């Protein structure tokens, strides 16, 4: 499968190709059609798609990595352009989400869940297909489903909470899903925020596909809150896996990105707005 992936929404802009925002979205072109992975927070997706000549009307499906606003906020604008479209995600994408931020000794709660009701998105044209398990969503394209948490060094972010049946608890992110594209050069794994842990996700993908070679891993890796020791453990595990390119984005955090660049040299790239991966 010939594939081209372009980062449409991201925190950083590398060239004169659009605007940055706190969010993530990747436009996927294959010889079987075009797809969208996440939609950013809604501020830049339409403008960036025009600047980068990626036609949102052409997308066949939308895949949602999880229910945070910075991955789902662009849904209405995208669906208004695509018209009726399948939207894949886990049932928990609709949970209320909270981020507790400590500023000047004061704790503030911010709502960071999906900013729209399911009914409204359906009214616009979304056809939700909800999965909890590993699922083939197109020829050679798979969603991970729920990812078992196995590593000792990848823990849930202690500042993130979700509300289930009126109870606020530490967010376990059962909805965190990644996308796998099976290409001739190996698998391409696209992460939203990797809230279930980058290594947990990689091991789960290897188990479910029976394949071990990754041509590329790209997307948000949410490594900023790990301790230096946890990050070193993660790098050790990553080095045992056959990966040609690592392109991090969005919630990775600069410290972790620099550390990965040191370790992976030319295999590493930062995926900013307009970055393209061709397979």
Residues that bind Fe ion (CB under 5 A): 68, 70, 193, 251
Smallest gap from Cβ 111 to Fe ion, in A, equals 13
Smallest gap from Cβ 239 to Fe ion, in A, equals 25
The residue (of 83 and 91) whose beta carbon lies closer to Fe ion is 91
143 strand-pairing partners: 135, 179
Smallest gap from Cβ 194 to Fe ion, in A, equals 9
Residue nearest to Fe ion (CB): 193
How far is residue 264's CA from residue 268's CA, in Å, rounded to a whole number?
A: 5
How far is residue 162's CA from residue 113's CA, in Å, rounded to a whole number?
A: 8
Smallest gap from Cβ 78 to Fe ion, in A, equals 17
How far is residue 197's CA from residue 210's CA, in Å, rounded to a whole number?
A: 20
The residue (of 68 and 245) whose beta carbon lies closer to Fe ion is 68
How far is residue 193's CA from residue 258's CA, in Å, rounded to a whole number?
A: 18
Smallest gap from Cβ 264 to Fe ion, in A, equals 22
Q: For the purposes of burial, counting CB atoms within 10 Å of the CB of 125, is it exposed (0-12), middle (13-18) or buried (19 or more)?
A: middle
Q: What share of the chain is helix, strand, coil (3-state, %, to 5)?
A: 25, 35, 40
CB 220 within 8 A of CB 251: yes
The residue (of 28 and 193) whose beta carbon lies closer to Fe ion is 193
Smallest gap from Cβ 250 to Fe ion, in A, equals 6
Closest of 176, 179, 190 to residue 246, by C-alpha: 190
The residue (of 60 and 155) whose beta carbon lies closer to Fe ion is 155
The residue (of 257 and 279) whose beta carbon lies closer to Fe ion is 257
Judged by DSSP in three states, 54 sits in: coil
CB 223 within 8 A of CB 252: yes
The residue (of 193 and 223) whose beta carbon lies closer to Fe ion is 193
């Amino acid at each position: 499968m010939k594939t081209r992936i372009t980062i449409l929404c991201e925190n950083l802009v590398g060239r004169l190709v659009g605007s940055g925002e706190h969010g993530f979205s990747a436009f996927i072109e294959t010889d079987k059609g075009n797809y969208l992975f996440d939609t950013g927070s809604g501020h830049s997706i339409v403008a960036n798609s025009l600047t980068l000549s990626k036609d949102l009307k052409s997308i066949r499906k939308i895949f949602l990595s999880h229910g945070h606003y910075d991955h789902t906020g662009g849904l209405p604008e995208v669906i208004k352009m695509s018209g009726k479209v399948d939207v894949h995600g886990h049932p928990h994408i609709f949970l209320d989400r909270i981020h507790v931020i400590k500023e000047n000794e004061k704790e503030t709660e911010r709502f960071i869940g999906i900013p729209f009701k399911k009914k409204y998105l359906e009214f616009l044209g979304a056809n939700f297909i909800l999965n909890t398990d590993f699922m083939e969503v197109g020829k050679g394209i798979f969603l991970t489903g729920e990812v078992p948490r196995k590593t000792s060094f990848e823990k849930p972010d202690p500042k993130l909470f979700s509300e289930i049946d009126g109870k606020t608890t530490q967010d376990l992110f059962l909805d965190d899903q990644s996308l796998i594209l099976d290409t001739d050069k190996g698998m391409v794994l696209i992460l939203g925020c990797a809230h279930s842990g980058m290594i947990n996700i990689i091991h789960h993908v290897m188990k479910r596909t029976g394949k071990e070679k990754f041509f590329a891993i790209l997307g948000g890796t949410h490594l900023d809150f790990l301790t230096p020791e946890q990050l070193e453990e993660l790098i050790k595990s990553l080095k045992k896996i056959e990966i040609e390119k690592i392109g991090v984005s969005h919630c990775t955090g600069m410290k972790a990105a620099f550390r990965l660049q040191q370790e992976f040299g030319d295999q590493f790239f930062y995926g900013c707005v307009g970055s393209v991966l061709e397979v």
